Amino acid sequence: MAFSKTFPKTIPGSNYPQWEEIFLTEAEEKEAEELCRKENFELLSECLNEAKSLAIKHAVNSDENRVKLAIALFEKKASHQVYWKEKIAKDKFDAKNKN
């Protein structure tokens, strides 16, 4: 099933927007997933380094503590695939409705 997102389109002379549904192609979905995967991989690596630094600084430098810190940092920072797909859908919507 294709990913879709609905956006409000302003209608001149109306107080209510017209809602327009934008669908991603399979290729666009795969691109968003790959971007997300790459970004999250880099982010997790960064979080592991930050966790190690924090653990050493606060004298809680055990493998278990570093992993817990890294996971907490990653969960706080990580973007999800839906965000990437919504961003591509928004870009398509904006390009389609450019004046």
Q: What's the rounded Cα separation, in Å, for the pair 4 and 21?
A: 7
Residue 42 burial (CB count, 10 A): 10
Measured in Å, how far apart are the chain's first and last C-alpha atoms?
A: 31
Indicate the pLDDT class of residue 99, thresholds 50, 70 and 90: low
**For range 54-83, the mean pLDDT:** 80
Per domain, the residue ranges of the chain are 25-96
Q: Above 80 in pLDDT, residue 1?
A: no
In this prediction the pTM is: 0.62
Amino acid making up residue 73: L
Q: Above 90 in pLDDT, residue 4?
A: yes
**Positions of E strands within the chain:** 4-9, 18-23
